[in-house]
Structure 1
């Protein structure tokens, strides 16, 4: 050893064994987040389609109703 410096083993600071595990966990989290986002978007689209169908049905019912709404009968 020169100048009083201690040699440090490279393996002490190596984090190579944890990296695949961390990447795997991050990958799972991202996949779950994307799945939740896609499910939310799908639910929103279904909800909007149901609302549109109801509005169309109400309009159709109003247009084909045999008794006018303001007749009082």
Structure 2
């Protein structure tokens, strides 16, 4: 019996696929969830920051409009 080195037998396990790690997809899912959570927190922080800036600008405008002493004097 002659074995050609270019052809390997299936029984040797050469063509079998490595078993998938069962927790690989779970870990990937957790990473995606964490990434989404961080992104949502960043967007929420940005919205809060912009609202605070808008409130400060409005307060400054009211302070300027109701100031009893003109700024040019």
C-alpha distance in structure 2 between counterparts of 1:18 and 1:34, whole Å: 26
Gaps spanning 5+ residues in structure 2: where? none
Where does structure 1 differ by over 6 angstroms across 4 or more consecutive aligned residues? Answer: 10-13
TM-score scaled by length of structure 1 = 0.75
C-alpha offsets along residues 12-47 of structure 1, whole Å, 9 cap, x if unaligned?
Answer: 766675343110010000000000000000000000
**Counterpart mapping for 1:29-48 below 5 A:** 29-48=31-50
Gaps spanning 5+ residues in structure 1: where? none
Give the equivalent residue in structure 1 for 2:56.
54
- Considering only aligned residues, what root-mean-square deviation do their CA atoms show, in Å? 2.8
Q: Give the 3 Å change call, closer, same or farther, for CA 53–61 of structure 1 in structure 2.
A: same
Q: Give the 3 Å change call, closer, same or farther, for CA 24–10 of structure 1 in structure 2.
A: farther
C-alpha distance in structure 2 between counterparts of 1:24 and 1:9, whole Å: 32
